[in-house]
Amino acid sequence: TALVESVPRTASVRAVTAVVALAVRKEDFIAAVSGEDADGVLALVRGGNVLRASPLFRELEPDVIAALLRKMDFHPVEAGHVLIEKGDAGDRFYLIVDGSFDVVGDDGKTSVATLGPGEPVGEIALLADSPRTATVIARSRGALLSLDRGAFFEFFRRHLGLGERLERVAGERLPQQGS
């Protein structure tokens, strides 16, 4: 993480058995992943950090977070991108990795909430099996991870406590949106 995101290291690592370690300079590592897979590698690193820091996901074991990341799709977006349109069918769950996103009120212009890294988007329509309750627009350039409807329900069925936390988040958001 520190290597990719240019932040201080947050932990020390000590081998408990004999290991063979490969030292790679930062420039060489970045060059190695700067091809077609660079976005995917960086998304996994950032996504893992966001999942570990998110109140919704932080209690998950590292292997569960890794499994979840493998099922998620990465979506870079530009400012102004309409992520969700009110009234559309709920087909995906999103988790904000980077950037900020406005939840737009019924007038189609006024921001009633701004969401940022670690926050879920699109959960209400999936949980309620209803159309999208609000329009969500990227306020800035950003990135998201997503799960399609089937993967969303499969994952949350396996982790019922997580599903209950997500339902609480959704319940808190509905009054903000005027629904």
The pTM (predicted TM-score) of the whole model is: 0.72
Q: How far apart, in whole angstroms, are the C-alpha atoms of residue 179 and residue 164?
A: 21
Q: Distance from first CA to last CA of the chain, Å, rounded?
A: 40
Per-residue pLDDT, averaged over 163-167, amounts to 72
User: For position 19, what pLDDT does the model report?
Assistant: 67
Name residue, tokens 């091809």: 35
Mean pLDDT of the chain: 81
What confidence tier does 47 reach under pLDDT thresholds 50, 70, 90? confident
List helix spans (H) across the chain.
2-5, 26-32, 38-53, 62-71, 123-128, 149-158, 160-176
Q: Which residue has the higher pLDDT, 113 or 70?
A: 113
Name residue, tokens 């339902």: 167
What confidence tier does 111 reach under pLDDT thresholds 50, 70, 90? very high
Among candidate residues 115, 168, 173, 109, the one with its CA nearest the CA of residue 140: 115
Per-residue pLDDT, averaged over 53-57, amounts to 80
| 168: three-class secondary structure by DSSP | helix
- CA distances from residue 98 to 74, 138, 143 in whole angstroms, order as listed: 11, 10, 5
Name residue, tokens 């999208």: 132
- CA distances from residue 107 to 103, 112, 137, 139, 150 in whole angstroms, order as listed: 11, 10, 14, 17, 32
54 contact partners, CB below 8 Å, separation of at least 6: 95, 118, 119
User: For position 178, what pLDDT does the model report?
Assistant: 44
User: For position 176, what pLDDT does the model report?
Assistant: 54
